[in-house]
Amino acid sequence: MEQLSGAQMVIRALQDEGVKHIYGYPGGALLHIYDALFQQEEVQHVLVRHEQAATHMADAYARATGKAGVALVTSGPGATNAITGIATAYMDSIPMVVITGQVMSFLIGEDAFQETDMIGVSRPVVKHSFSVQNPEDIPSIIKKAFHIAESGRPGPVVVDIPKDMTNPTDRFNYEYPKSIKLRSYNPVSRGHSGQIKKAIDMVLGAKRPVIYAGGGVIMGDASAELTELAKLLNAPVTNTLMGLGGYPGTDRQFIGMLGMHGSYEANMAMHHADLILAVGARFDDRVTNGVDKFCPTAKIIHVDIDPASISKTIQADVPIVGPAKHVLQEMIELVKGSKKQPGKESIDSWWQQIEEWRGRHGGRFRTDDSELMKPQQVIEMLSKVTKGDAYVCSDVGQHQMFAAQYYKFNKPNRWINSGGLGTMGFGLPAAMGVKMNFPDEEVVCVTGEGSIQMNIQELSTISQYDIPVKVICLNNQSLGMVRQWQDMNYESRHSQSYMKSLPDFVKLAEAYGHVGMKVEKYEDLEAAMTEAFSLKDRMVFMDIAVDPFEHVYPMQVPRGSMRDMWLSKTERT
Partner 1 sequence: MRHIISVLMENEPGALSRVVGLFSQRNFNIESLTVAPTEDSTLSRLTVTTIGSDRVIEQITKQLNKLIDVVKVVDLTEGDHIERELMMIKLKASGQMRAEIKRTADIFRGQIIDVTPTTYTVQLTGASDKLDAFIETLGTTHIMEVVRTGVSGLSRGEKVLSL
Ligand X SMILES: Cc1ncc(C[n+]2csc(CCOP(=O)(O)OP(=O)(O)O)c2C)c(N)n1
Residue numbers annotated as active site: 51, 113-114, 163, 481
30 versus 421: smaller Cβ distance to ligand X: 421
CA neighbours closer than 13 Å in the CB half-sphere of residue 345: 0
Q: Does residue number 449 form part of the binding site for ligand X (CB under 6 A)?
A: yes
Q: How far is the CB of 459 from ligand X (least distance, A)?
A: 16
Q: Does residue number 447 form part of the binding site for Mg ion (CB under 5 A)?
A: no
207 Cβ contact partners less than 8 Å away, ≥ 6 residues apart: 274, 343, 346, 347, 350
83 versus 145: smaller Cβ distance to ligand X: 83
Q: Which stretch binds ligand X (CB under 6 A): 228-236, 351-359, 480-488, 557-565?
A: 480-488
223 versus 476: smaller Cβ distance to ligand X: 476
166 Cβ contact partners less than 8 Å away, ≥ 6 residues apart: 5, 6, 7, 10, 32, 33, 36, 135
Q: How far is the CB of 419 from ligand X (least distance, A)?
A: 11
CA atoms of 430 and 61, how far apart (whole Å): 8
449 versus 564: smaller Cβ distance to Mg ion: 449
Q: Select from 1, 124, 339, 492 the one that contacts partner 1 (CB under 8 A).
A: 124
185 binds, among Mg ion, ligand X, partner 1, none (CB under 5 to 8 A by kind): partner 1
Q: Does residue number 330 form part of the binding site for ligand X (CB under 6 A)?
A: no
Q: Let me know: does 379 contact 546? Beta carbons within 8 Å.
A: no
DSSP 21-48: EEEEE--GGGHHHHHHHHT-SSSEEEE-
Torsion sign over Cα 392, 397, 399, 402 = positive
Q: Select from 176, 185, 465, 522 the one that contacts partner 1 (CB under 8 A).
A: 185
List phi, psi (to 5°) of 446. -95, 125
Distances in Å between the Cα of 176 and the Cα atoms of 10, 30, 255, 367 are 11, 21, 48, 60
Q: Does residue number 568 form part of the binding site for partner 1 (CB under 8 A)?
A: no
Q: Select from 221, 306, 441, 524 the one that contacts partner 1 (CB under 8 A).
A: 306
Q: Which of residues 219-238 bind partner 1 (CB under 8 A)?
A: none
Q: Select from 47, 182, 511, 527 the one that contacts partner 1 (CB under 8 A).
A: 182
Tell me the pairing of strands 391-394 and 443-448.
Answer: parallel
Q: How far is the CB of 276 from partner 1 (least distance, A)?
A: 19
Cα–Cα nearest to 72, from 48, 40, 105: 48
CA atoms of 474 and 226, how far apart (whole Å): 33
Q: Does residue number 102 form part of the binding site for partner 1 (CB under 8 A)?
A: no
- Ramachandran quadrant class, 269 (left: phi over 0; alpha: psi -120 to 50; beta: rest): alpha
Q: Does residue number 194 form part of the binding site for partner 1 (CB under 8 A)?
A: no
CA atoms of 567 and 573, how far apart (whole Å): 7
- Write each residue from 460 to 479 as x if it is in contact with Mg ion (CB under 5 A), else as -, in one continuous string: ----------------x---
395 binds, among ligand X, Mg ion, partner 1, none (CB under 5 to 8 A by kind): ligand X
Q: How far is the CB of 431 from ligand X (least distance, A)?
A: 15
Taking the CA atoms of residue 177, residue 179, residue 180 and residue 186 in that order, the dihedral angle to the nearest 10 degrees is 170
Contacts with ligand X by CB under 6 A: the residue count is: 20
Q: How far is the CB of 179 from Mg ion (least distance, A)?
A: 48
Which amino acid, one-letter code, is at 87? A
Burial of 67 (0-12, 13-18, 19+ CB in 10 A): middle
Q: How far is the CB of 485 from Mg ion (least distance, A)?
A: 13
89 versus 396: smaller Cβ distance to ligand X: 396
CA atoms of 291 and 289, how far apart (whole Å): 6
Q: Let me know: does 434 contact 61? Beta carbons within 8 Å.
A: yes
CA atoms of 176 and 17, how far apart (whole Å): 9
Q: How far is the CB of 428 from Mg ion (least distance, A)?
A: 15
Q: Select from 216, 425, 448, 516 the one that contacts Mg ion (CB under 5 A).
A: 448
Q: Which stretch binds partner 1 (CB under 8 A): 81-89, 122-130, 217-225, 326-334?
A: 122-130
Q: Which of residues 371-430 bind ligand X (CB under 6 A)?
A: 395-399, 422-425
131 binds, among partner 1, ligand X, Mg ion, none (CB under 5 to 8 A by kind): partner 1
Q: Which stretch binds Mg ion (CB under 5 A): 137-145, 224-232, 318-326, 450-458?
A: 450-458
Q: Does residue number 295 form part of the binding site for ligand X (CB under 6 A)?
A: no
Q: Where are the alpha helices (DSSP H) in 206-241?
A: 215-219, 223-233
Q: Does residue number 94 form part of the binding site for ligand X (CB under 6 A)?
A: no
What is the per-residue burial (b if ≥16 Cβ within 10 Å, else e) of 497-529?
bebeeeeebbebbeebebbbbbbeebeebeebb
179 versus 495: smaller Cβ distance to partner 1: 179
Q: Does residue number 291 form part of the binding site for partner 1 (CB under 8 A)?
A: no
Q: Select from 47, 285, 296, 308 the one that contacts partner 1 (CB under 8 A).
A: 308
18 Cβ contact partners less than 8 Å away, ≥ 6 residues apart: none
Q: Which of residues 128-157 bind partner 1 (CB under 8 A)?
A: 128-129, 131, 133, 148
Q: Which helix (H) or strand (E) holds 254?
A: strand 254-257
Q: Does residue number 108 form part of the binding site for partner 1 (CB under 8 A)?
A: no
Q: Let me know: does 467 contact 415? Beta carbons within 8 Å.
A: no
CA atoms of 211 and 203, how far apart (whole Å): 10
Q: Which of residues 277-336 bind Mg ion (CB under 5 A)?
A: none
How many CB atoms neighbour CB 443 within 10 A? Answer: 27
Q: Contact residues for Mg ion (CB under 5 A)?
A: 448-450, 476, 480
Binding site for ligand X (CB under 6 A): 395-399, 422-425, 448-451, 474, 476, 478-482
Site of interaction with partner 1 (CB under 8 A) = 119-120, 123-124, 127-129, 131, 133, 148, 182-185, 306-308, 311-312
